[in-house]
A and B are shown apart, each in its own frame.
Chain A
């Protein structure tokens, strides 16, 4: 898997040139955003739900140590095992270790295959390569993830990983990689995947899942899905490994209510997804199925650093719904791959720099017009524009002590603003403070701009202003300012 946050600008240029991709992403995000609006309209108490959910998350984050301790104790009490992973490498080591041991233990040897249900955290730690290297065959079972696994690609959307592929793409892919006659309709493709993957579920000795929410009071994890692969990978294999970030906690079972109403509507415009599994430990002695071993891996991977930053802490409230992607004018044009890593769109623009280090993803906080659509759509009211501005400030300051910096790597060259930028802003501030200078400045700007404008837009300015016009057009100043027209007497 090729991670490319440092080349965001190149990636987005390539994406903009890809008409097919733009069509697919545009259609999908339109549909999602529309479905979301309809589903939200059904709840007159939508704003109250958002407030309630955010309050729960704020409380959890403010007392995260206590809740994590409570959660761990309960999981262990119920027969599960808890492992703590400081970073991606540790998470991989732990999960591969558990998998290898589970294959050799037990009266009957289990197949060295892991049935994986969708987990963004699993992608974050690059689990599949490590499993394969450890002799465990990882099989993605979510249909979209299975499709891109066969294609050797990465997901382009949090909820719909294969959204960039047409039905024709997928049909050809199946024919070429699975050696089957080319399926035609979506139904046929699905039936084929169902048949192939059922065999894998039955053989796999290990099931690996994510966790949508983890209840501290009871040690229960909740997994939401539509397809049923989450249920299958946590029911049939002998060993279940669940991977979660520290921020997935909610205090009590009852606290799940607002999230159950917010997440499906925000993500796919559904009232509720087809299945929610509420799992508390491995199968009990008198139960007939379910895993014999339940392992929970709790991951930090710089989340504690985000927690420590009062301006960025709310990033951890994210419930991975994908609503911000669907309403983002940037994401709608370029899709998920351009963001270069696991989390795309607005949430990716704030999470990726904080997880991989700001110097490695310094362009991402700028991948925004700050329109605020994401903030309005977010079910837990994350003020994404605010966090973006905060991260931009950190980029400018090149602050090596910031949570988003990587130790040992120099900050991006644009540490201190250039002399030109400082000069322009000093002049700008001076002009804005004086009505006379402002009128004079406007008059000068209109005269200067006239030769530079094409069709009422300024597309090219000489250096250093070209830093702006390389990626933006300015509207040309009007011949006569509104103020002058007003005093002249507008008809």
Chain B
């Protein structure tokens, strides 16, 4: 039994060699912005650095405009929109119709490979890395943010947290409670450098991502 082998291995009387102290641990962690504006700016800059798009609008009308722009930019025809208290009031379906796109009701079990755009909420955004966090839940399966050619994440300004520690503090009780099977941290489009280190987007996941921040 492996646990037995582990216990035997640890029963050795010789302690492992201590780690030599390296160069003096001089620097402190970078300071994060303290206010919502600063957090938004850092989030926007860092996500743009890795090829993601960020737009901000003060009100639902502005978000609808930004969404319309996304649909036009990508010539979207087939759009999947999550149903949630965050997204329903925005009535993005009417924006689709106005832009000549169809709202798809496809289910994950139908393995939708042909979605042009998918829209989900984001549970959190992380300024340090330009990431959005998505917890898979009823009405927002895991696959949509992955299979569509373009992924749009919409969230209120207040959900932008400073750093990865804040994200993990959010995740820990959810994981401990155990009611949800999958949280994903998404930072920009899918990418690879496997061919001669030439950076290419959209390998298996979306080729483009848009984060629309309301507030």
Task: Decide if A226 touches B192 in the complex (CB within 8 Å).
Answer: yes
Q: Quick check: is B162 within 8 A (CB to CB) of the other chain?
A: no
Q: Which residues of B contact A45 (CB under 8 A)?
A: 25, 27-30
Task: Decide if B26 touches A166 in the complex (CB within 8 Å).
Answer: no
Q: Quick check: is A408 within 8 A (CB to CB) of the other chain?
A: no
Task: Decide if A280 touches B192 in the complex (CB within 8 Å).
Answer: no
Task: Decide if A253 touches B6 in the complex (CB within 8 Å).
Answer: no
Partner-contacting stretch, out of B54-62, B88-96, B135-143: B135-143
Task: Decide if A235 touches B20 in the complex (CB within 8 Å).
Answer: no
Which residue of the partner chain, among B10, B19, B108, B146, contacts A231 with CB atoms under 8 Å? B146
- Report Cα–Cα, A308/B30, bound state, in Å: 39
B1-42 Cβ-contact flags toward A at 8 Å (1 or 0): 111011111101011110110111111111000000000000
Chain B: minimal CB distance from A256 (Å):
6
Of all chain B residues, the one with the shortest Cβ separation from A284 is B181
Task: Decide if B195 touches A278 in the complex (CB within 8 Å).
Answer: no
Task: Decide if A284 touches B179 in the complex (CB within 8 Å).
Answer: yes
Q: Quick check: is A455 within 8 A (CB to CB) of the other chain?
A: no
Task: Decide if A278 touches B22 in the complex (CB within 8 Å).
Answer: no
Which residue of the partner chain, among B5, B146, B178, contacts A232 with CB atoms under 8 Å? B146
Q: Which residues of A contact B3 (CB under 8 A)?
A: 65, 68-69, 84
Q: Quick check: is A338 within 8 A (CB to CB) of the other chain?
A: no
Which chain A residues in 131-177 approach chain B with CB under 8 Å?
Answer: 141-144, 147, 160-163, 165-167, 170
Category for how many chain A residues contact B: 35 or more
Partner-contacting stretch, out of B73-81, B153-161, B168-176: B168-176
Q: Which residues of B contact A412 (CB under 8 A)?
A: none
Residue picked from A219, A279, A288, most chain B C-beta under 10 Å? A288
Q: Quick check: is A484 within 8 A (CB to CB) of the other chain?
A: no
- Report Cα–Cα, A193/B206, bound state, in Å: 14
Task: Decide if A289 touches B26 in the complex (CB within 8 Å).
Answer: no
Tally A-B pairs: CB < 8 A.
273
Task: Decide if A300 touches B187 in the complex (CB within 8 Å).
Answer: no
Task: Decide if B192 touches A190 in the complex (CB within 8 Å).
Answer: yes
Task: Decide if B175 touches A218 in the complex (CB within 8 Å).
Answer: yes
Which residue of the partner chain, among B23, B50, B182, B186, contacts A47 with CB atoms under 8 Å? B23
Task: Decide if A227 touches B204 in the complex (CB within 8 Å).
Answer: yes
Partner-contacting stretch, out of A5-13, A266-274, A349-357: A266-274
Q: Which residues of B contact A160 (CB under 8 A)?
A: 193-194, 197
Task: Decide if A193 touches B203 in the complex (CB within 8 Å).
Answer: yes
- Report Cα–Cα, A87/B138, bound state, in Å: 40
- Report Cα–Cα, A31/B29, bound state, in Å: 26
Task: Decide if B16 touches A313 in the complex (CB within 8 Å).
Answer: yes
Q: Which residues of B contact A215 (CB under 8 A)?
A: 175
Chain B: minimal CB distance from A322 (Å):
13
Task: Decide if A276 touches B179 in the complex (CB within 8 Å).
Answer: no
Q: Which residues of B contact A198 (CB under 8 A)?
A: 113, 204
Which chain B residues in 169-215 approach chain A with CB under 8 Å?
Answer: 169, 171-172, 175-176, 178-198, 200, 202-206
- Report Cα–Cα, A50/B23, bound state, in Å: 11
Task: Decide if A274 touches B205 in the complex (CB within 8 Å).
Answer: yes
Which residue of the partner chain, among A189, A260, A270, A274, contacts B186 with CB atoms under 8 Å? A274
Of all chain A residues, the one with the shortest Cβ separation from B166 is A257
Residue picked from B111, B165, B185, most chain A C-beta under 10 Å? B185
Given the known interface contacts A215-B175, A280-B182, A314-B16, the answer about A231 and B27 at a Cβ–Cβ threshold of 8 Å is no
Chain B: minimal CB distance from A124 (Å):
16
Q: Quick check: is B107 within 8 A (CB to CB) of the other chain?
A: yes
- Report Cα–Cα, A435/B160, bound state, in Å: 69
Q: Quick check: is A439 within 8 A (CB to CB) of the other chain?
A: no
Q: Which residues of A contact B120 (CB under 8 A)?
A: none
Task: Decide if A298 touches B194 in the complex (CB within 8 Å).
Answer: no
- Report Cα–Cα, A226/B24, bound state, in Å: 33
- Report Cα–Cα, A202/B130, bound state, in Å: 30
Given the known interface contacts A218-B176, A227-B204, A228-B205, the answer about A186 and B113 at a Cβ–Cβ threshold of 8 Å is no
Q: Which residues of A contact B175 (CB under 8 A)?
A: 215, 218-220, 253, 278, 280
Task: Decide if B189 touches A274 in the complex (CB within 8 Å).
Answer: yes
Given the known interface contacts A43-B30, A236-B111, the answer about A289 and B142 at a Cβ–Cβ threshold of 8 Å is yes
Q: Quick check: is B164 within 8 A (CB to CB) of the other chain?
A: yes
A247-285 Cβ-contact flags toward B at 8 Å (1 or 0): 000001110110011000000101111111111111110
- Report Cα–Cα, A199/B26, bound state, in Å: 51
Task: Decide if B200 touches A187 in the complex (CB within 8 Å).
Answer: yes
Task: Decide if A304 touches B9 in the complex (CB within 8 Å).
Answer: yes
Q: Which residues of A contact B26 (CB under 8 A)?
A: 44, 47
B111-132 Cβ-contact flags toward A at 8 Å (1 or 0): 1010000000000000001110
Q: Which residues of A contact B196 (CB under 8 A)?
A: 165-167, 186
- Report Cα–Cα, A253/B172, bound state, in Å: 6
Task: Decide if B204 touches A194 in the complex (CB within 8 Å).
Answer: yes
A213-226 Cβ-contact flags toward B at 8 Å (1 or 0): 00101111000001
Task: Decide if A274 touches B27 in the complex (CB within 8 Å).
Answer: no
Please list 28 pairs of residues, one from A and one from B, whose beta carbons are closer than 8 Å in the complex, sorted by A's number.
A28-B197, A62-B10, A62-B16, A64-B10, A68-B3, A160-B197, A161-B194, A190-B192, A194-B204, A218-B172, A219-B178, A228-B146, A253-B168, A253-B171, A271-B46, A271-B49, A273-B187, A274-B50, A274-B205, A275-B190, A280-B181, A288-B141, A290-B181, A300-B2, A308-B8, A310-B14, A313-B16, A383-B17
3 shortest interchain CB distances as A-B pairs? A44-B27, A228-B205, A289-B108
